[in-house]
Structure 1
Amino acid sequence: MPASPSPEASGRRLVLSDIALDHRDGDGQVFRALDVPTLVLEHGTALGVSGPSGCGKSTLLHLIAGLLRPSAGSIRWGETEISALPEARRDHWRRQNLGFVFQDFHLVPELDVAGNIALPASFSSWRLSSSGRDRALALASRVGLKDPHRRAAVLSRGEQQRVAIARALFKQPRLILADEPTASLDADHADGVSELLVEAAEQTGATLICASHDPRLLARMTRRIDLSAGHAV
C-alpha cells in the first residue's frame, strides 16, 4: 500500500473546491469570470497555468493568494481555509507562506536592487541581518543583476522583473505564485529565471504555480491546466 502523507505534507496541500468568481459588467449584468470545480495540489507540485490573455490566469493566482475572495467555493492550504479568513489574517498568512511574482513588479523606486529583494524581511524586523543581506546579494547575482546597489527607478523592465522574482524567493516561501515571470525577459534570461524558480521550489519542497504564455517555462512544470474563458481544462 502507498505510504500515508506526512503531517507536514498534508499541512501544505492546496485544495480549491467549487471556486467561482462573478463580476458585474457596465450594464450591471453578472457574469462568471472564473470557474474551477476542483484543483488539488500536493506539496512540491509545479503547476503551469496557460491560456489566452483575459482568460483568468492572474485572477486564479490572486484568489489563491487571498488577494481576492471567491463568490463561491473554498480555498484551503492544509487546515487553513484562506478564502474564509478576515483581511488581517490573510495578510499574516501571506507573510508566513507566500512568495508572489506580480506582473507589475511593485518595486520601491528609491530602494536599490538588494533592498528591494530583501523587502519581505522588513515586515518582521526593523533591521536586516547580515545573513539576510548576504542572501539578497546572492539572489541578485543568481538572476544576473551585477550591480545590487542600483536604484530600482533606473532599471530596465527586464531587470525589474528579475528583482521581483528574486524578492519572491527571498524568504524561501512554501508557496510560490508567479504571474508571467518571463514576459519581459530575453530568451537567455527567461531560461535562467525559469530554472531558478523550479530549483528554488525543489530545494525547499515548495509548491510552485506559474501562469504563463511561455512554452519553455510551462514545459518545466510537472502538471498543467489550461483556462478558456475562465473555465479550467
Structure 2
Amino acid sequence: MPASHSPDRATAKALRLSGVTLDHRGGDGRPFRVLDIPDLTVPSGAHIGLRGPSGSGKTSLLHVIAGLIVPSTGTVSWGETELSALPAASRDRWRLETLGFVFQDFHLIPELDILANITLPASFSSWRVVRSEQERAAAIAARMGLVDLRRRTGVLSRGEQQRVAIARAVCRRPALILADEPTASLDAAHADEVGALLVDAANEAGATLICATHDAALLARLERRLDIETTSPLRELVA
C-alpha cells in the first residue's frame, strides 16, 4: 500500500466570533462567566496578540476558536463554516486539516523522539510519514535549534520541549496557528529568536496567527494586539 501524501495546504479564511459567551461552574456550583465577546473578526492572514492577566480567559478563547470547547452561546465561524455548530468528528477533521496549536502544556509524547513528535499530526492522515514531511520537520527543528532529532522528548528541558511544540504546530503549514504562551519557558534571547521564527512561519504559510502571551517582545511583532479581561469585552491595545 503506497504512502499517501499530505493534503494540500489549507487557505487562511476570515475568523469571526459573534455573541460568544462561555460559562463555567465554580466549586459552589454557581455559574460564572469566563468569556463575553459580542463580536470579533480576524481577517485572513492577520497576526493577533492576546494580552491579559492569568485567569482572564485567554486559553479558553483559544480553545473556543479551535473547537475544543463549544461556547455557551454564540457562533464561531471560519470562512463560511460555522465551527461551533459542527459535530465533534467534523471539528476534529477541521483541526487536522487547518490548525496548528501550541499548547501551554505542550502535549508531547515523552516516549517518542523529537522527529516523531513534530511529524505526529501527519501520521493521523497517513499510515507512514512521507520523506518530504520528515525533511520539512528536520529543517524546522534545525531552525528551532533542535539538533539531535532522536532524543526522546521526555528527557528534554522545558525550553526544548517548547520549541518542539512550536515546530510541530507549524510543520504542515496550517492556515490557522494558535499559540498559548509560546515563549513562556524560554530565556529572553531564545524567546526573541523563537518568537521571530513563529511569526516567520506564519508569514511563509500565509497563515492567521493568534498568540496569547505576556511577552512584550512577541506582542510587538504582531500587527494587532487585544486586551482580554473577565470584566469587559476585548479591547484594542494602542501600539
Shared fold per TM-score greater than 0.5: yes
Same amino acid, percent of matched pairs: 61
Paired residues for 1:1-40 under 5 Å: 12-40=13-41
**What amino acid maps onto 1:53 in structure 2?**
S
The match for 2:150 is: 149
The whole-number CA distance in structure 2 between the counterparts of 1:55 and 1:193 is 25
The match for 2:140 is: 139
1:121-167 deviation per Cα after TM superposition (whole angstroms, max 9, x unaligned): 11111111111111111111010111111111110011000000000
The whole-number CA distance in structure 1 between the counterparts of 2:39 and 2:66 is 17
Whether the 8 Å CA contact 1:65–1:98 is kept in 2: the answer is yes
The match for 1:71 is: 72
The match for 1:110 is: 111
The match for 1:89 is: 90
Q: CA deviation at 1:229?
A: 1.6
**What amino acid maps onto 1:102 in structure 2?**
F
Gaps of at least 5 residues in structure 1 are 1-7
SS of structure 2 residue aligned to 1:92: helix
The match for 1:4 is: none
Give TM-score scaled by structure 2 length: 0.92
**What amino acid maps onto 1:159 in structure 2?**
E
The match for 1:182 is: 183
The match for 2:48 is: 47
The whole-number CA distance in structure 2 between the counterparts of 1:101 and 1:192 is 16
SS of structure 1 residue aligned to 2:227: strand
The whole-number CA distance in structure 1 between the counterparts of 2:104 and 2:231 is 19
Whether the 8 Å CA contact 1:56–1:230 is kept in 2: the answer is no
Q: CA deviation at 1:24?
A: 1.3
The match for 1:99 is: 100
SS of structure 2 residue aligned to 1:217: helix
The match for 1:206 is: 207
The whole-number CA distance in structure 1 between the counterparts of 2:34 and 2:134 is 42
Give TM-score scaled by structure 1 length: 0.94
1:8-65 deviation per Cα after TM superposition (whole angstroms, max 9, x unaligned): 98x7100010110011112221111111111101111000000001100000000000
Shift >6 Å, 4+ stretches: none
SS of structure 1 residue aligned to 2:226: strand
Q: CA deviation at 1:230?
A: 5.6
The whole-number CA distance in structure 2 between the counterparts of 1:118 and 1:89 is 22
The whole-number CA distance in structure 2 between the counterparts of 1:94 and 1:230 is 30
Whether the 8 Å CA contact 1:120–1:170 is kept in 2: the answer is no
Q: CA deviation at 1:90?
A: 0.3
SS of structure 2 residue aligned to 1:38: strand
Count the aligned residue pairs.
225
SS of structure 1 residue aligned to 2:16: strand
